[in-house]
Every structure is written in C-alpha cells, then in structure tokens.
Amino acid sequence: MTGDFLALAQPGVQKLSPYVPGKPVDELARELDIDPARIVKLASNENPLGASPKALAAIRNALDELTRYPDGNGFELKMALAERCGVKSSQVTLGNGSNDILELVSRAYLAPGLNAVFSAHAFAVYPIVTQAVGAQAKVVPAKDFGHDLDAMLAAINANTRVVFVANPNNPTGTWFDARALDAFLNAVPGHVLVVLDEAYIEYAQGGELPDGLNYLKAHPNLLVSRTFSKAYGLAALRVGYGLSSPTVADVLNRVRQPFNVNSLALAAACAALDDSDYLAESRRLNEAGMLQLQDGFRAIGLGWIPSKGNFIAVDLGREAAPLFKELLREGVIVRPVANYGMPNHLRVTIGLPQENARFLEALSLVLTRG
Ligand code: PMP
C-alpha cells in the first residue's frame, strides 16, 4: 500500500493553503471567450506603465549570453544597490523576487519549536514561509486593519526568531510612521530578526513613511526587503533584495540557490535602477490613479482603507465575492481578499487612467444590478 502523501507532509504544510495569485488575463479570456485586449487586470499590484525602455534594452543585450549561468554573486547589481542605498555590498542579498528573501529568512532562522510573529491581514507569504519549515505562525490581531506594533511586541517570546512587518502593508495599504518604527525596533529583543518588508516603499517615500535603511546601522537585527516588481515594473523577471548586517547577509547566502537571480533579471534591474524618469512617472501615475479611484468610490458612496501602496482596498459593505465574479463577467479582474480576513473588501491595483475608469464604470454597474 502506498503512503498517504498528504498525511506524510510535515504538519505545518498540511495546514497551509496555496498562495492564490491574481487571475491571469489569458485565463479569463479563455473562460469567457473574449478578446484579451478587452480585459482590464488590476489584481496583482503590477506597474501599468510597461517596463522601462532602459531595462528592455539591457535585456536585449543580455540575450547573447543565455547559454551561460548568470553571475551567481550578482556583483554588478549588488554594487549598484549598495551605492544607491548607502550600504556595503556585503550587506545586500539578492533574491528571485523579494519573496525569495522571505524564504531565505525562514529557512535560515525558523524551525519546529520556533515561531514567527506577524499581523492579521498581512502578506499571505508570511504564513507560507513560516509553516513550510515547521515553525509556528503567531498572528496578531490588527488595529484598524493596520499592524498593532505594541501587540506584536507582546506576542514575541523566547522562541520567536522572526517578526515580519510590512510598511506599507499588502493588501490593506496601511502604514506606520518613523516614531512607531523607532519605538518598535528599540523594544524588539536582540534575538529576533525584524523583517521590514518595503515592497511598496518607492510609492510612499517623501511622505509619512520612514525609510528602513536609516535604521540598519543601529539595529543589526533588522533586514529590509525591497523589490523590482512594483515601482520598477519588472514583476515577471523576479528580482528583489534584502539589506541587512553583513552577518545576516552571510547566513542567507548559505541557504540560497546558487543562481537564484537570472541574468536577464540582473541586467534589467541594473538598468531600471538608473532610470529615474521611469520611477518618477510610476509614482506620478500612481498618485493620480489613487485620487481617481477615491473620487470614484466617493461618488458611488463606498468607503476604503487609506493606502500608501499602488493599490487600494475598497469596502463594499457586503460580501465582495459575488461582486468580484460579476466584475469578471465585465472583463475586469480585481482581487477578492476574504482569504486575508477581509470578506467585504476588494483590493484594486492602481492602473492607467482609462483602466481605472473602466473598473469604476463596471463596479458601479454591478453594484446597481446586484
Ligand atoms: N511583500 C509584499 C508586501 C508584497 O505585496 C509582495 C508582492 N505581492 C511581495 C513582498 C513579493 O513580491 P516579489 O516577490 O515580486 O518581490
């Protein structure tokens, strides 16, 4: 008799649900038998601008070397990031998306008998990477959908090795300020690694959000994770990075795949980092789109959670799942977030002005119909 390979999986994995990504455009086009060009996808916090021309040119240049393994140490990108971030290159860890950084942290620091602390309504990958290695996920109730940093501190015990905090958080868009981060970092015990997930920080800088890099010197137990998937517009290439003490970077380097960032991604990320015009346009488009969506929600009479990301969670005041399905029928893909404990919200990525308008029109239609 063969074994029950679900029951044989380690207990933490048995209790996991797989990550649910935004529905791909082609999948909906197949299901509805409609032209993909008519579909608007605002479901995965992707950059609506299209990739930077500089990144595209760098990819074309790198194509000639596809038969070779990439630079396993990512020398050039690490140097560029170190210079940009004011750290040593020994403090940089590159990842296959910042998702990879989260995995490296859990593999290096978590194990059965240990735990990771994070907030309710936080990024769905935190429980996955925690339970995948047999560690316990300690989920702390949120305050007004945002991180309750005091309660998170109180949840830390002798077996805690990692705290995941996202600023701003996905899918809520909520954030905390420099005073709150300062107090938190000063109070976290030294044996706990604080993973400050700044996947959306480029959209939020210059405002009320602290820059995690400013805290690295004083806090050797801090790791800041960032990505090229959002404001830099390279989600498909999967490239992110961690900034930490050299010791933590050295530990993460021991458990990563030898070639975890591919050569096209390395080349494109270097070029994207240099394209300040693209970044400025990403931010401008996002700010304008955020206002457009808020104006639209106000006109329909809906509330929302204030957001510092490239997305916004709108409160439909009733179960969102049926309306999500109705929107699909209108060719508009957004993200239901019931699996994040938010059954009445839909998370909508800020798109191009015409995409935002299409979404608002469809939303208003399905709301009046329903
Ligand atoms: N952190 C947060 C908060 C995110 O929302 C995401 C992407 N959805 C990631 C990390 C991972 O993104 P990537 O692996 O593309 O860098």
Q: DSSP string spanning 116-183?
A: EEEETT--THHHHHHHHTTPEEEEEPPBTTB--HHHHHHH--TTEEEEEEESS-TTT-----HHHHHH
Q: Sheet harboring 222-227: ordered strands across?
A: 92-95, 240-243, 222-227, 193-197, 160-166, 115-119, 136-140
In short, whether 103's Cβ falls inside 6 Å of ligand 1 is no
In short, whether 245's Cβ falls inside 6 Å of ligand 1 is no
How far away, in angstroms, is 199 Cα from ligand 1 center? 6
Cβ 237 vs Cβ 317: under 8 Å: no
How far away, in angstroms, is 4 Cα from ligand 1 center? 33
Rounded-to-integer distance, Cα 166 and Cα 209, Å: 11
Rounded-to-integer distance, Cα 100 and Cα 257, Å: 10
Rounded-to-integer distance, Cα 370 and Cα 368, Å: 6
Give, using CA atoms, the residue closest to atom 7 of ligand 1: 199
Under DSSP, is residue 61 helix (H, G, I), strand (E, B) or coil? helix
In short, whether 104's Cβ falls inside 6 Å of ligand 1 is no
Strand partners, 166: 197
How far away, in angstroms, is 184 Cα from ligand 1 center? 22
Closest atom of ligand 1 to CA, residue 238: 15
Of 235, 283, 200, the closest CA to residue 51 belongs to 235
Query: Which pLDDT value is given to residue 34?
Result: 86
In short, whether 168's Cβ falls inside 6 Å of ligand 1 is no
In short, whether 132's Cβ falls inside 6 Å of ligand 1 is no
Query: Which pLDDT value is given to residue 55?
Result: 98
How far away, in angstroms, is 122 Cα from ligand 1 center? 11
Strand partners, 193: 162
pLDDT, tens digit, for every residue of 215-233? 999 999 999 999 999 999 9
In short, whether 240's Cβ falls inside 6 Å of ligand 1 is yes
In short, whether 244's Cβ falls inside 6 Å of ligand 1 is no
Rounded-to-integer distance, Cα 127 and Cα 262, Å: 26
Give, using CA atoms, the residue closest to atom 2 of ligand 1: 199
User: For the chain, percent helix, then strand, then coil, each to nearest 5?
Assistant: 45, 15, 40
Of 204, 208, 268, the closest CA to residue 235 belongs to 268
| Per-domain residue ranges of the chain | 11-50+277-369, 53-274
How far away, in angstroms, is 99 Cα from ligand 1 center? 6
Distances (CA, A) of 87 to 46, 72, 288, 338: 28, 20, 33, 39
Cβ 169 vs Cβ 312: under 8 Å: no
Query: Which pLDDT value is given to residue 18?
Result: 86
DSSP class per residue in 222-285: EEEEEESSSTT--GGG--EEEE--HHHHHHHHHHS-TT-S-HHHHHHHHHHHH-HHHHHHHHHH
Count of CB atoms situated within 10 Å of the CB of 19: 12
Under DSSP, is residue 96 helix (H, G, I), strand (E, B) or coil? coil
Closest atom of ligand 1 to CA, residue 239: 16
How far away, in angstroms, is 166 Cα from ligand 1 center? 10
How far away, in angstroms, is 128 Cα from ligand 1 center? 13
Distances (CA, A) of 27 to 31, 35, 36: 6, 11, 9
Contacts of 206 (CB under 8 A, 6+ apart): none
* pLDDT beneath 70: ranges in the chain: 205-206, 370
Q: In the CATH scheme, what is the code of domain 53-274?
A: 3.40.640.10
User: Ligand 1 pocket test: which of 20, 81, 119, 123 has the largest number of ligand atoms within 8 Å of its C-beta?
Assistant: 123
Q: What class, spelled out in words, does domain 11-50+277-369 have in CATH?
A: alpha beta
Angle formed by the axes of helices 246-255 and 98-109, nearest 10°: 90
Query: Which pLDDT value is given to residue 1?
Result: 76
